[in-house]
Chains A and B, each alone.
Chain A
Amino acid sequence: MALFLLSRPSDLPLARDPSARFLVWITALMVFLATLALAGAMMVSEMAQRWDSGLAGGLTVQIAPLPGGGAAPLDERVEAALTVLRSSPGVKTARALTSADTARLLEPWLGPEAADPLLPMPRLIDVTTDGPVDVPGLAQHLKSAAPGAILDDHAVWLADLRSFTGAVHLAALGLVGLIGGAGVMSVIFSVRAGLAIHRHVVELLHLMGATDRYIARQFERHVVGLSLRGGMVGLALALATLAGVHHASRGLRASLLPDLTLAPWQWAALALVPLAAALLALATARWTVLRRLESLP
């Protein structure tokens, strides 16, 4: 007798419908794509944040070696530039990078030859600020004190970076929206098919006194079960893909790409994607069934 209670069969034999298998795989695909899109957006965001925090609130002065013998030696011009910088309002610190530092920065592009003393390398001064700086005025001062000095306030870089991050976020959001829309359409199709296949049973339940919510719950349970199953498959595939990408990025010799890693909270957020898909499926199934049942007397 307990078997009767444990099995608790659904009033509608929805599990036998051909659309049931279709919904599992379509949800798996949707969750897979949505998880990858979100993970991509999170990685880009993380990367951009690191770059942004490294570039904002700082200036870089580049002093290039000048051809000909008329100009002062490079070291003297660096010292002159440091003097100007340290006396300028808004400048907190100014530190000249050594030739070894500069060679290390250029190594990913130039290789070990970057440290060759015969290579005409510019000298760089890393400046941090703690207030507003008159960038054009400072650039003018630097030019007259240290010919060949170029002041870079990273404004162009930052603007490009922020615009790129915004575009990536927008694209990811659009992609997730499209995927969600396609998921909703699939659920609507599946539920409508179920309502059509089991029209007689639905009408019978209705005549026996089942409320619309009672009938809708049968579809909700069915669709949520399928979505969760498909969602877990999609999530597993997406996580495996991300792990593969992470592994491949670690194999890159040059650090052209930043680390493609996610924080623990971001992994947790990705793990919620199947749940979100199931909730969306539940709401869609309920809405579809209730709307259809309105046509019954």
Chain B
Amino acid sequence: MIRFENVGLRYGIESEVLRDISFTLNPGSFHFMTGASGAGKSSLLKLMYLAHRPSRGLITLFGRDMARVTRPELPELRRQIGVVFQDFALLDHLSALDNVALPLRMAGASDADMVEHCTEILRWVGLGSHLHAKPSTLSGGQQQRVAIARSVINRPRLLLADEPTGNVDDGIGMRLLYLFEELHKLGTTVVIATHNEALIRRFNHPHLHLDNGRLHVVPAQTARGG
């Protein structure tokens, strides 16, 4: 699914924010990404959802060497990745339904399909009665669920979430993690960046732990025990 080999990332002439990152994520796996603030979690996620190109090293995504992928080929690859942004990144002028429909619209889905699938997924995340609500009228937790619905509407092969529980209380955070668990069971590869140790201790998944730009893969059993 994803392979990083000796990947480094620097912004401009600054020193590297990610150094010698090497790991492999198998299809259908579930990983937490942990680390202190500024450790490089967001940067690593950005490399994974193709917002940046690495300064060095090799990234293989869905079996494609990213160094050889041309710019016109990137949108197709990006559509196979669902991203839940830390700030939700919902479009304020669109309703919950229209926000969730965005990936389908980009993929050229028919209107009927869009309505059916978006309604279904919003009901699944418990927002069936808020289909036409604008994000500004929704609570933080509801906005988070719209963002999650949008990230999974087109059944992505890889789901990345950046601090998805950062803006919600523990109860809602737990519900969101159960949502990710369900998606994982459907075969989606999931990576969740978080520093909420209390929440992730309850789930038995390996960690990608970042420390000062370097990555340590912590296996599931150890993670649970630690």
Contacts and interface: CB of A to CB of B under 8 A. Distances in A.
Interface of A: 1, 4-5, 8-9, 11, 13, 16, 200-201, 204-205, 207-211, 214, 297
A209 B52 contact: no
Contact of A4 (B76, B98, B106): B98
Contact of A205 (B80, B85, B102): B102
Contacts of A16: 93
Contact of A209 (B78, B95, B98, B115): B78
A5 B81 CA distance: 26
Interface of B: 49-53, 71-72, 74-81, 83, 85, 89, 91-95, 97-98, 102-103, 105-107, 111, 115, 119, 132
B33 to A, nearest CB: 18
Contacts of B105: 11
In order of increasing CB-CB distance, the 10 nearest A-B pairs are A209-B79, A209-B78, A13-B93, A211-B75, A5-B111, A209-B75, A210-B106, A204-B89, A207-B51, A1-B115
Contacts, number: 62
Nearest to A297: B53
A211 B81 CA distance: 15
Nearest to A8: B111
A220 to B, nearest CB: 16
Contacts of A205: 102, 106
B148 to A, nearest CB: 14
Nearest to A210: B106
Contacts of B80: 209
A16 B92 CA distance: 13
Contacts of A210: 75, 106
Given A4-B98, A9-B98, A297-B53, A208 B91 contact: no
Contacts of B72: 211
B91 A11 contact: yes
Contact of B78 (A8, A200, A201, A208): A208
B104 to A, nearest CB: 11
A200 to B, nearest CB: 8
20 contacts: A1-B119, A5-B115, A9-B93, A13-B91, A13-B92, A201-B91, A204-B91, A207-B51, A207-B78, A208-B83, A208-B102, A208-B103, A209-B76, A209-B81, A210-B75, A211-B72, A211-B75, A297-B50, A297-B52, A297-B71
B93 A207 contact: no
A228 to B, nearest CB: 23
Nearest to A14: B93
B42 to A, nearest CB: 13
Contacts of A209: 75-81, 103, 106-107
A4 B115 contact: yes
A8 B94 CA distance: 10
A211 B107 CA distance: 10
A110 B89 CA distance: 82
A136 to B, nearest CB: 72
A256 B83 CA distance: 75
Nearest to A2: B115
A200 B90 CA distance: 11
Contacts of B71: 297
Nearest to B51: A207
Contact of B94 (A9, A207, A208): A9
Given A208-B79, A211-B72, 9 more contacts: A4-B115, A9-B93, A9-B98, A11-B94, A205-B102, A209-B79, A209-B103, A211-B75, A214-B106
Given A9-B98, A11-B91, A11-B105, A207 B49 contact: yes
Contacts of B93: 9, 13, 16
A211 B73 CA distance: 9
A268 B59 CA distance: 59
A1 B101 CA distance: 13
A209 B153 CA distance: 13
Contacts of A11: 91, 94, 102, 105
Contacts of B115: 1, 4-5
Nearest to B99: A11
Contacts of B51: 207, 297
Contacts of B119: 1
A45 to B, nearest CB: 47
A209 B76 CA distance: 6
Contacts of B98: 4, 9
A114 to B, nearest CB: 75
Nearest to B93: A13
- The listed residue with most A CB atoms (<10 A of its CB), out of B71, B75, B103, B132, is B75
A210 B89 CA distance: 15
A211 B106 CA distance: 8
B91 A207 contact: no
